[in-house]
Amino acid sequence: MKRAVTLKENYEFRRLYQKGASAVGGGMVLYCRKNRLGHNRLGVTVSVKLGHAVVRNRARRRLREVYRLNGDKLRQGYDIILVARTRTATAPWKDLNSTFLRLCRKLDLLEGEA
C-alpha cells in the first residue's frame, strides 16, 4: 500500500453503515463492503462523545496505524470503516492489533485464508 486512500464523503459512510457487514470487538467496530476498485479504501470515524480533541486525535491515529501495519494482509477491493470506541485511545497496542486481526478474520477479509 502506498498512500492511504481514504473515504471522505458522508454518503460513503452512510452506505457502509446501512449495507456493509460489521463486526464488533474490544475497542473498535469494523464495517466492510466490496467496492470493485481493485484496492482498499479506509474510513475512520471518531465521535465527539469519546472526549476532547487530543483523545480523538489519538484514537484516529492508532486506528490508522493498525490499518497501515496490517493492510498488506487484507484482501483487496473493499471499503473499510473503523469506528473508535472509548478504549481505542487507552488500550494496550497489542490488544488493539489482535482485535483488528480477529475482526478481519471474522469478516473473511484476510488474504490467503478461507
Partner RNA sequence: CGAGGAAAACAGACAGUCGCGUGGGCAGGCCGAAAGGCCGUCCAUGAGGAAAGUCCGGGCUCCACAGGGCAAGGAUAACGGGUAACGCCCGCCGAAGGCGACUUCAGGAAAAGUGCAACAGAGAUAUACCGCCUGUGCGGCUUGGCCGCACAGGUAAGGGUGGAAAGGUGCGGUAAGAGCGCACCCGACGGCUGGGAACUGUCCGUCGCUGUAAACUCUAUCCGGAGCAACACCGGUAUGGGAGCAGGAGGCAACUCCAAGGCUGGCCCGGCCGCUCCCGGGGUGGCUUGAGCGUGCCGGCAACGGUACGCCUAGAUAGAUGACUGUCAAAUACAGAACCCGGCUUACAGUUUUGCUCGCGCC
* Grid cell in block for residue 66: 493498525
Does 61 interact with RNA (rule: CB under 7 A)?
A: yes
Does 53 interact with RNA (rule: CB under 7 A)?
A: yes
Single out the residue of 86, 83, 80 nearest to residue 104, CA to CA: 80
Does 76 interact with RNA (rule: CB under 7 A)?
A: no
Q: Which is nearer to RNA, 49 or 52 (CB)?
A: 52
* Grid cell in block for residue 84: 473508535
Among 21-29, 63-71, 80-88, 106-114, which window interacts with RNA (CB under 7 A)? Answer: 63-71
Does 11 interact with RNA (rule: CB under 7 A)?
A: yes
The CB density around residue 53, as the number of other CB atoms within 10 Å, is 8
